[in-house]
Amino acid sequence: MAEKSGGSKKLLWIMIILVLLSSAGAAAAIYMVMDQRDDGSADAEMQQAMEREPPIFMRIEPFTVNLADDSYGSRLLYTGVTLRVGNEESKAILEEHMPQVRSRLLMLLSGKQADELTSSEGKQQLAQAIVDRLNVPLTENQPPLDLREVLFTEFIVQ
């Protein structure tokens, strides 16, 4: 009987040691997998930061427009506009057709009243109207323009 209890104690200790070793191995494997995931996401973030492209801006020379008559009579708008485009192709298309671009902007602005343009909401609506107006193709078979934002660099209503 003494032999059986000594053998079962050895078996118990062997099982405890095996459980501890397998638990340590599993913990090490989980740690390594999690560490690789973190390195992968850090590498992806680093790669995105390296691939970040600078914005492409296209400046349109400032111009003065007669606004639509309102209760105060004839009013003027002096504005400078800069467009942020998504690619060089869009910038090149707009530069090639600058007379058409300026004409479309003048036609759009001359139909506005001063009251519409003095509030921040009015300026935001005007910026969206400019994007909508310039997204209409300037020539046949023109690829779509990638207009991202309209920035007013100068804006005076008199």
CB contact at 8 A, 143 and 85: no
Higher-pLDDT residue of 3, 53: 53
User: Which of the residue ranges 13-17, 72-76, 149-153 would you say has the lowest mean pLDDT?
Assistant: 72-76
Residue 92 lies in a domain: yes
For the chain, how many structural domains are there in total?
A: 1
147-157 and 56-66 beta bridge pairing? unpaired
If pLDDT is split at 50, 70 and 90, which confidence band does 1 have?
very low
Burial group, residue 19, by CB count within 10 angstroms (0-12, 13-18, 19+)? exposed
**Which domain, by its residues, includes 101?**
56-157
Mean pLDDT of 84-112: 93
Judge whether 12 lies within some domain: no
Asked if residue 25 belongs to a domain, the reply is no
- The confidence score (pLDDT) of residue 150 equals 95
- Residue bearing the bigger pLDDT, 37 or 70: 70
Question: Is 74 inside a domain boundary?
Answer: yes
Q: Is residue 67 part of a domain?
A: yes
Residue 66 has pLDDT above 70, yes or no: yes
Residue 102 lies in a domain: yes
Domain presence at residue 99: yes
Identify the CATH number of the domain in which residue 146 sits: 3.30.479.30
**pTM, rounded to two decimals:** 0.65
Evaluate whether residue 38 is within a structural domain. Answer: no
